[in-house]
């Protein structure tokens, strides 16, 4: 059975190493969000590295998830002291559990405040794609699909909740996303 890969990316207003209250709050809330999401039905796994410093994404060993990568439009730092980004890479059983985990609870509360921490952008903040069971997506996979989504729009190769596709490539829509006139559940 195919699994759903999700890559998210945002540029933070200040580096993760910034000792300011908003950055500290973002970092601390992120830990709580990961704990809750990892317990959600339909969650499979996420890229996680053992590192002690905030912002050391580029130096970390991500194991099966590959070398850390960011979209071409990221123009801030790449060291633990200067990195100003929020990025996740995860696997889900299907669209509905991912949607429910992201748009409820503590993650929903964080989304409501995202512009306290994350710069507004014309670039997409997330992208989905289907992978074969047992395949671990890489950071580079996520970046290339997010850039494809930005450049070409949603397609079976790279899509969003609002414009989603089933594993066989047919368009689908989740209830609760998109215009009311075309809400259907697959």
Q: Per residue in 116-168, pLDDT tens?
A: 999 999 999 999 999 999 999 999 999 999 999 999 999 999 999 999 999 99
At 16, the pLDDT band (50, 70, 90 cuts) reads: confident
Q: How many CB atoms lie within 10 A of CB 176?
A: 13
Query: Could you tell me what percent of the chain has a pLDDT over 90?
Result: 69
What pTM was computed for the model?
Answer: 0.91
Q: How many CB atoms lie within 10 A of CB 168?
A: 9
Q: How far, CA to CA in Å, does 177 sit from each of 99, 183, 186?
A: 9, 7, 13
């Amino acid at each position: 059975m195919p699994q759903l890969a999700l890559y998210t990316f945002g540029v933070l207003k200040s580096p993760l190493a910034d000792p300011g209250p908003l950055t500290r709050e973002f970092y601390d809330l992120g830990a709580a969000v990961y704990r809750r999401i990892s317990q959600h039905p339909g969650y499979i796994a996420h890229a996680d590295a053992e590192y002690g410093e905030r912002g050391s994404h580029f130096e970390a060993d991500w194991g099966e998830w590959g070398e850390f990568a960011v979209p071409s439009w990221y123009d801030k730092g790449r060291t633990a002291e200067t990195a100003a980004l929020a990025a996740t890479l995860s696997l889900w059983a299907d669209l509905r559990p991912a949607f429910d985990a992201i748009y409820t609870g503590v993650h929903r509360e964080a989304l409501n405040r995202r512009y306290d921490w994350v710069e507004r952008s014309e670039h997409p903040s997330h992208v989905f794609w289907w992978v074969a069971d047992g395949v671990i997506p890489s950071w580079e996979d996520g970046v290339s699909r997010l850039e494809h989504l930005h450049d070409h729009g949603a397609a079976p190769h790279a899509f969003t909740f609002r414009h989603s596709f089933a594993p066989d490539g047919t368009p689908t829509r989740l209830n609760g996303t998109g215009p009311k006139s075309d809400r259907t559940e697959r």
